[in-house]
Chains A and B, each alone.
Chain A
Amino acid sequence: MNELKIKDLTCYRGDNLVLKDLNTKLKSGDSLVIRGSNGSGKTTLLRVLSNFIKLYNGKILFNDHNVLEDANYRNCFNFVGQKNCLKDNLSVKNNLKLWEIIYQKNISYSKLLEDFNISHLMERDVASLSDGQKKCISLLRLNFTESKIWYLDEPFVFLDEANSQILIQKIKNFNTNNGIVIITSNINLQNTFTNEIKI
């Protein structure tokens, strides 16, 4: 059983107070949707949780260890931000090869692409794909690590109805396998994920 606790989290970006006294607790199998308007600090929160931003007040504890001091924490989560991490001038296959090297995990590309039914895009250049197709490929990074937490920054942007349903199913499967998911969104996902906070 894993547990992620956020205690009195306050974060400034420059002189702006972005996050103020945020408290929450998530256990294995939980999902949390963070809603807020543009510029409200959703992405900042995910970057704080992912240990990219280290200057903040309060504590983030994963299994009672402060994430700033826990060297293993970086292997426990997967952060998928708004940038796609794709090289436009390369084919989808070559991009997957680069991820394979970074994540040091061998994976069957065709099986991977079947997740979003996009096997036919394997040899295509990324530059020729639509934003939605790029987003689907970007989300495939979730399959490259055996993480316990997923931080997903606006994952539904550009996805059509069918692919949104596939992603929702992936998140639910991850929850069933004791994963914790934190999603930022400025659209209402309350029908799908009940646990929601507004910032």
Chain B
Amino acid sequence: MFALLKRDLYLALYSSSSFFYTSSFFILILIILPFLFGTNDVQLQVLFKGIIWIGLSLSILLTMERIFNADYEDGNLDVIIQRYPSLETIIISKYITHWVVYCLPLFIILPILSFLFYVSLDNFFLIFLNLFFGSLGMVFIVTFVSALTLGAKRTIFLKAIIVIPLFIPFLIFGTNLGSWPILLALSMMSFVLSMYVSAYGLRLYVE
């Protein structure tokens, strides 16, 4: 599994723009807010709690094509499945890589953004926890949708229609500070569902 993980991380490193694009996208979404709603600090604090979830959802959603589809289209998925017959290993490696490449950069810039939006330290800690546990569950969800729709080209809107309703519970509890245990539970449920469905999707592709 570590070889596969190393390969996926190297791939992300070689296409290093991935890190940069995700963080830039996230920052830009947050930057446009004060232009739209003014710079009142109380208002910004309220908006911040919600808008970071929209930023996170979009970052994960727009990059879901890269989980399995890139390897499927260039044929690398065949090689990976031949070398690593345990589909679970492949799926877990994809979870980790996708989270590290597309979610971790957001957590790195989160303290700076919180400071800019006048978020207090206590609230920052709770937002961070919510976002951390929520992002895991959201990565599990996009992974299984990506595996299920493998081979279907130019279907980002179809995938979005499937994924966004599944994100709703995360968004509802995510904006409520202190509900990280519920987000953790949701993520654990998503993990179980995602493992089965992703393995089913990959098996369908192989056969």
Contacts and interface: CB of A to CB of B under 8 A. Distances in A.
B154 interface: no
Nearest to A71: B85
Nearest to A91: B14
Given A79-B82, A85-B76, A97 B10 contact: yes
Given A90-B14, A90-B15, A94-B14, A141 B7 contact: no
A189 interface: no
A137 interface: no
Given A55-B207, A103-B83, A104-B3, A98 B75 contact: no
Contacts of A82: 75
Contacts of A141: 79
Contacts of A79: 78, 82
Given A74-B85, A102-B3, A102-B83, A87 B11 contact: yes
Contacts of A83: 73-75, 78
Interface residues of B, number: 22
Contacts of B27: none
Nearest to B78: A81
A102 B15 CA distance: 18
Given A101-B7, A102-B83, A104-B3, A54 B78 contact: no
A101 B74 contact: no
Contacts of B73: 83
Contacts of B85: 71, 74
Given A53-B207, A74-B85, A98 B10 contact: yes
Contacts of B7: 98, 101-102
A104 B11 CA distance: 15
B80 interface: yes
B112 interface: no
Interface of A: 50-55, 71, 74, 79, 81-90, 94, 97-99, 101-104, 141
Interface of B: 3-4, 6-7, 10-11, 14-15, 70, 73-76, 78-83, 85, 206-207
